[in-house]
Structures are given as structure tokens and as C-alpha cells.
Structure 1
Amino acid sequence: MKISGSTALVTGANRGFGRHLAVELAARGATVYAAARNPDTVDLPGVTPVRLDITDPASVAAAAELAGDVNLLINNAGIDSGTDLLDGDLDLVRLELETHYLGTLSMVRAFAPVIAGNGGGTILNILSVLSWINFPKHGAYGAAKSAEWAMTNALRVQLADRGVRVAGLHVGYMDTDMTAAITDPKSDPETVARIAVDGIETDAYEILADDVSRQVRAGLAGGATALYPQLP
């Protein structure tokens, strides 16, 4: 889809990767709704702050009513509680699923009819390389992202004949507040935002933003022992 002249809503747009996405979209001529739990934290010129908690159905419905001209939705809002699946707080595991899976699904259910009614457009779900491979210290996050990936695939097929393209962005660590404690190599979120918007503009269904994501996807055919060589 053409970005210039489009109307986009980005969740989690007050900081981190979401902020970079909002900046990139606005720079390319899109009208941008920048959604955050506290809209006062959105400090970007030329965008419209929107109060939104994707885990609150009333908040999602209010955002869909307010932003009724949207034809591009980017589901970026997320958390990483660093919860271990075996020993971690089960409430935090639920929160990961409520956010990445059910929260994103609520956004799609609310905005897909809006986008279809506006002549069609795109939904981009910000996934992760951890939707394809998981590690204990990111167990809850990876499980939630895997669920979001499965949801993305189902909705992609279901919404195709309604003129709504559903895409997914896979990326490893980015240099944001969420990964501040991680010492592994990280991508520049500004660069990834540009790759993501390029992918939307070329109607890609699957956007791989870094070498890590490309390598892991290529390794999926090898099965569990290829992805997890440490297994006995």
C-alpha cells in the first residue's frame, strides 16, 4: 500500500520501536495516530496522541471510534516480563498472553472492519524471532509471540478477501529500553522501522528485519535438534 496519504495507528508509540515507527510513517506523508496508555507521553510533532490500553476492551473500542479513518494498523505494544515458564509467576505469563495475543487480537477485531470500510489496507503485527525459537529466560514472551504469529497466519487468510492485508515483522533484539539489560548484538530501531515501512509499502506478508530472523527461519525445516543443538 502507499504510505503517503495513508492514515495509520501505531500502538505503543510513545517510546522505543513504536516511536520510531510513528516518526517514519509521518516522514513519508502518513497521518499518524500515536497510541499509548498515557497519551501525554507522546511528544512527537505532527501526530495525534490517542489513549489506548490494548488489554482493556473499552479502551480499544474508544480508539476504533476515534480513529475511524485508519487504513493502516501497526500492533506494536508489548511487554517482556522475563518470566520463566516453569518457575515464574503464572500471573505474569497470563499478562504476556493478554498483551501480545489477546490484546493484539482485540485490536484486529476492532480495526479490521474500519480498514475494510475505508477501502482496504494493512495490519502489521510486530512479532519477533522468538516467535520461532525460544529460550528459558524469555519463555513467557516467546510463547505469547508464538501465539501471536499463529494468530497472524490465521487472520491473514481470513481477512484477505476483505481487502485487509495482514503482515508480520520478525526481528531479533533492538536497542530499546526493553532490551537495556541485554548485552547481545542489537539492531538500530530506526533502521528496523524503515525496513518495516518498506515492507508495508511493497505489500510483503512477512518482513524479516535482520540476519538473525533470516537464519532462524531458514533453520525451521531442520526441526528441534537444529534449532536447539544443546539438546541431548
Structure 2
Amino acid sequence: MVSEGKHPVVTGLRIKGEQEIGESKKNMEEIASPAQLQYSGLAVFKKDKLIGWLNEEESKAYNYVVDHVKSTVGVFACPEGGKFALEVIRSKTEVKGKLESGNPRIDVNVRTEVNVGEVECKIDLTKTKSIEELEKVAEQKAREFIEQTIHHVQKKYKVDIFGFGEVIHRSEPKYWEKAKDDWDQIFVNLPVHVNVDGKIRHLGTVSNSFLEEMKKKE
């Protein structure tokens, strides 16, 4: 709340079940509690005022940008139909800021290492080309949902929750002194370029889908 160039977010909690029973001692005495708490997105603040919420996918995109992702699983569409799952085992994000023709620009570079968790499509995992295809699909989807979330926050909430202002403050301190009071207005039209570099490191115990094995026998 007190930092320059970044507005706060707070993890949301939702009561699932019967709230009145959940407030009683009885709720703690049962194995299957009638009321439970579950995480539910991120609350977006403008200084100390709640102005909206990010859903689950948007919250994941936010965590990628601010480099808070430790491990997660994503499901993607295969190039020729079907789905596959990837488990992120490492993620690192670098956010850089600079001026172009006197105007600020942000570059978000995300690097991930993933394992293939599940494959339900016709693709040969023994071929390097197939692995590269999966990497490209995952990179494109990750880039798109991160870009969409940033754009959504820019246009709907108009507050910099990602800390891009802090990045510009560090990289261009002279510009920041002139722009800091108007940063929220600048943020709305701030060019943000997202790059995702994802590498599949292990297949784990996953082998070719039975669909691919059937195809080989035809």
C-alpha cells in the first residue's frame, strides 16, 4: 500500500458450505465439515480500496509476472486434437523496463522447465520434433493468457498491480520522478511485451498415448 509504482493484491477466501454452522464449534468436531474455506482468486486494490477480483487463471498469470510460481499444472490442446498436461517444476520471470522515444516499455521474460504429466492425443513422444511441438503450444498459450490478464487489468481496473512502476523507477529514475504522480494513467496504455521460453526436461513415467500406439499398429 505504501510502495511507489505498485498497488496491492490479497488472496481471496470463500466460505464453501453452511456459514452459520461453520461459525460454531460443531464445525471443528466433524471430519467432513459442513463449512470450509477455500482459496478464491485475488482481490485487486487501488491503494486501500477493493475494486475487483482476478479469477483463477488471471491469478495464475499474475503470479507468473511477479515470479511467485513454484509449481503448477497446465492442460493444453494437442496440435491434432486431444489434450496433454505439463507440470511446471521451475519458473523464473525477469521484468525489465526501458524508455523508447521517451516513453516507457516493459518486457516480461518467463522461463519454465516442465515435465510431461499426461498425454491424451496422437503424438509420438519418442521424436524430438514432437517434444518441440508441445513446447510451442504451451509457450503460446502461456504468453496469451499472461498478455490477456495484463490487458484486462489495464483496461478494467486501471491500476498497476504488477509492479511495472517499480521496474521503471529502478531503471529510469529521472523519468520516474516526472511520471510517478501520473503512473496509473500511463499504465493504462503501457506497452508490455511478454516472452515465454518453456523447456520439457523429463517425460517421467509417461509414454506414448494408447491412441498413438494404436495408430502404429494400423
* TM-score, normalised via structure 2 length: 0.26
- Higher normalized strand content (fraction of residues): 2
- Higher normalized helix content (fraction of residues): 1
* Structure of greater relative contact order (alpha carbons < 8 Å, 6+ residues apart): 2
* Greater radius of gyration (CA): 2
* TM-score, normalised via structure 1 length: 0.25
